[in-house]
Amino acid sequence: MLHTLSCENTTEDIQLSAVRVRDMSVCDGIARMHMDLEARGSPDALDVMHHFFNYHWLNDLDLPYLAALLDLRNPQVRAVSLREDGWAQMEPDQRQVRICSTYGDSPCALIAWEEFSAAMQLKYRFLCLMRRYEGHGIPRYSVSEGFRVRLHAPGLEGARAQGR
């Protein structure tokens, strides 16, 4: 499923602290969700993360991408390709996920599994909620002003300290 798993320009770790859902809408069966991620890391790593989390492939629950990303710890999954738009791969220690927003010689970023999983689960849950609204006969739904969700995984700081 992946064309390449190598990444020459791996950048520093990303530390994700919050997700700001800037826009969320469903109209005529098409869901859209744009996330701004509050994080620390190098500018290249943050750019990779921002593009990766907002790919349109991840807004369609009928496609397998988002569900597969939530299952990266499964030995049968371990890596997910977003077609020509990039890939994600669980690191061997299963504490971090390497993400790349394109194929070829481009920057990659490392993000803790807990943070990656929390952001993807949030996206999944909101997309499911939007689908339910549509199923109840609400053909158009939108949040245009946005809202912020602070991510907190119990014991995350301790896990980071052990991993370094």
The 3-class secondary structure across the chain, one letter per residue, is CCCCCCCCEEEEEEEEEEEEEEEEEEECCEEEEEEEEEEECCHHHHHHHHHHHCCHHHHCCCCCHHHHHCCCCCCCCCEEECHHHCEEEECCCCCEEEEECCCCCCEEEEEEHHHHHHHHHHHHHHHHHHHHHHHCCCCEEEECCCEEEECCCCCHHHHHHHHC
Taking the C-alpha atoms of residue 128 and residue 112, their distance in angstroms, rounded to an integer, is 24
Weakest mean pLDDT among 12-21, 57-66, 92-101: 12-21
* pLDDT of 160 higher than 50: no
pLDDT band with cut points at 50, 70 and 90 for residue 113: very high
Q: Which of 94, 99, 151 is nearest to 122 (CA)?
A: 151
Least Cα distance to 63 among 52, 55, 74, 75 occurs for 55
Specify the higher pLDDT residue, 44 or 106.
Answer: 44
pLDDT tens per residue, range 67-98: 999 999 998 898 998 877 789 999 999 999 99
Residue 14 has pLDDT above 60, yes or no: yes
The pLDDT value given to residue 90: 94
Q: Are strands 140-143 and 107-112 parallel, antiparallel or unpaired?
A: unpaired
Domain ranges, ordered by start, for the chain: 9-150
